[in-house]
Amino acid sequence: MILGKEADPKLRMMRRQMVRVVMIVVITFGLLSVLIVSRYADSRFAGSYFLGALLGVVNGAVGFVTIEKFIDKSTLVFLKGVFLGMGIRLALLFGVFIFLFEVIHVSISGMVYGLIVFYFTMTVLEVVFLNKRIALKKPTRENK
């Protein structure tokens, strides 16, 4: 469980901090996007931009859950889980992207811009989370 009670206090605190950081970053980027996109783009582009942004955020959230699900497994299982999860997320993202473009007729440029901004932002946050999570997993001198 992501914020479960079974985790040690340091892990729970780190998870809560990461959730706060992710929320602050997504809200900040979202507000900046609203200011910029509403000023310089038409409504079709703006709607497509925010659909792409939503895809990027959902993709990142699934990445956080995947990391948390596999982090305490063996290294091989962790790598398989994370890389398989990345492949599945990429395939689903591509499928949703094609559906939205072909069926809903969203602006491809708006969707790509929104997806790029939020996809890479969430990827950076995933890497930060992974590094912090691994640091908590490593044995310290007191734990040996």
Measured CA distances, 33 to 4, 50, 88 (Å):
33, 9, 28
Within-domain flag for 108:
yes
Maximum Cα–Cα distance for the chain, whole Å? 60
Q: At what angle do helices 9-40 and 108-137 cross, to 10 degrees?
A: 160
Residues 103-138: tens digit of each pLDDT: 999 999 999 999 999 999 999 999 999 999 888 876
Q: What is the pLDDT of residue 135?
A: 87
Domain count of the fold of the chain: 1
Q: What is the pLDDT of residue 5?
A: 55
Nearest-angstrom CA–CA distance, 46 and 68: 33
Within-domain flag for 141:
no
For tokens 């890389």, what's the residue? Answer: 83
Residue-number span of the structural domain to which 124 is assigned: 9-134
Within-domain flag for 81:
yes
Within-domain flag for 143:
no
Which portions of the chain are predicted below pLDDT 50?
1, 141-144
Within-domain flag for 28:
yes
Within-domain flag for 142:
no
Q: What is the pLDDT of residue 11?
A: 87
Read off the pTM: 0.85
Within-domain flag for 144:
no
Within-domain flag for 14:
yes
